[in-house]
Amino acid sequence: MIKCHLSRLMGEKKLKIVDVARETGVNRGTITRLYHETASRVELDSIEALCRYLNCEVGELFEYVEDR
């Protein structure tokens, strides 16, 4: 499974979903689904915008974890 660390990254920087959406141009619903790890697909443009805004690599935002 793919884990999304958006909530942790946002928490470390004390960011709100609405602020990230406004600053990145990424749809608020997309950010909410990533934040709660319920997203089933994400556009590469959205990932790029989030990584640029959070100053992180894709590997810091997403992680592959084997299912148990």
DSSP string of 4-29, one letter each residue = E-HHHHHHHTT--HHHHHHHH---HH
Closest alpha carbon to 5 in 68, 47, 66, 45? 47
Does 68 score more than 90 pLDDT? no
| Residue 34: band (very low, low, confident or very high) from pLDDT cuts 50, 70, 90 | very high
User: What is the domain extent for residue 19?
Assistant: 2-64
* Token pair recorded at residue 7: 């909530």
Which pLDDT value is given to residue 42?
96
The CATH number that applies at residue 14 is: 1.10.260.40
Please tell me the pTM assigned to this model.
0.93
* Token pair recorded at residue 11: 């928490």
Q: Which residue has the higher pLDDT, 67 or 30?
A: 30
Which pLDDT value is given to residue 5?
98
| Domains: count for the chain | 1
Euclidean distance between CA atoms 53 and 45, whole angstroms: 12
In terms of DSSP bridges, do strands 2-4 and 62-64 run parallel, antiparallel, or are they unpaired?
antiparallel
